[in-house]
Amino acid sequence: MLLVAVCRNRPTASWAAGPFECRVGNWTTQATRPFVLGPDNVPVITDESMIVREPAMATFSAIVHSDSEDAPAILDMVARGMRSFDKATAKYWCEWLEVGLEDTPVQETWRELEKMVGTYFPGRGTLFEQTYLEGKAEGRAEDRTVLILRVLEKRGIDIPETARERITSCTDLDTLTLWFDRSLTATAAEELFADGPDDPS
């Protein structure tokens, strides 16, 4: 098993190299020597072609040197280099980099450079994931809106323009679910919006 430690400063990289030993009395039962990627053994990206040839090394290099004053320029170069990748490859390494830049000042700089959609790190709150989830939620809201209007129309319920606009402009899924439930028994479109104990507002 290979344990890789990615460090942004030299003192941490020196400590992370170990060895870390487990002992029983005078016997060493296990010694762990991580493979450390740090400022001393990972080169700074200075050539866009390196990103195309070695996206993994370029990504780790951007993380390792993210505390340097050149970090914004490095990230800009990485973004330009990744434009030559197919979408799946670009999205994968873009998200690797965003996760690796967590809690650094330049993470927002990198997020501004991301322009694609998709996610490989669910639950980490990356820009791709936020974009994906927001789009998914919008799609669900649109589907529910269509269902509400269709039920009302099929039941012969008149839908005034003000009611239609209120339904189609709503994006809250809980509210739309309530309105859908009400649309099954309402005798007028306005009954969907009646205040009551089950009103989420």
pLDDT value, residue 198 = 43
**pLDDT in the model for residue 87:** 76
- pLDDT range class, residue 137, cuts 50, 70, 90: low
Instruction: Identify whether the C-beta of residue 63 lies closer than 8 Å to the C-beta of residue 101.
Output: yes
Cβ–Cβ under 8 Å, residues 89 and 81: no
pLDDT tens for residues 72-103?
888 888 888 887 787 788 888 888 888 888 88
pLDDT at residue 200 greater than cutoff 50: no
pLDDT mean across residues, the chain:
82
Distance CA 64, CA 9 (A): 8
State the burial class of residue 7 (Cβ atoms within 10 Å of its Cβ: 0-12, 13-18, 19+).
Answer: buried
Phi, psi of 24 (to 5 degrees): -125, 105
pTM: 0.54
pLDDT in tens, 106-123: 888 888 777 543 444 555
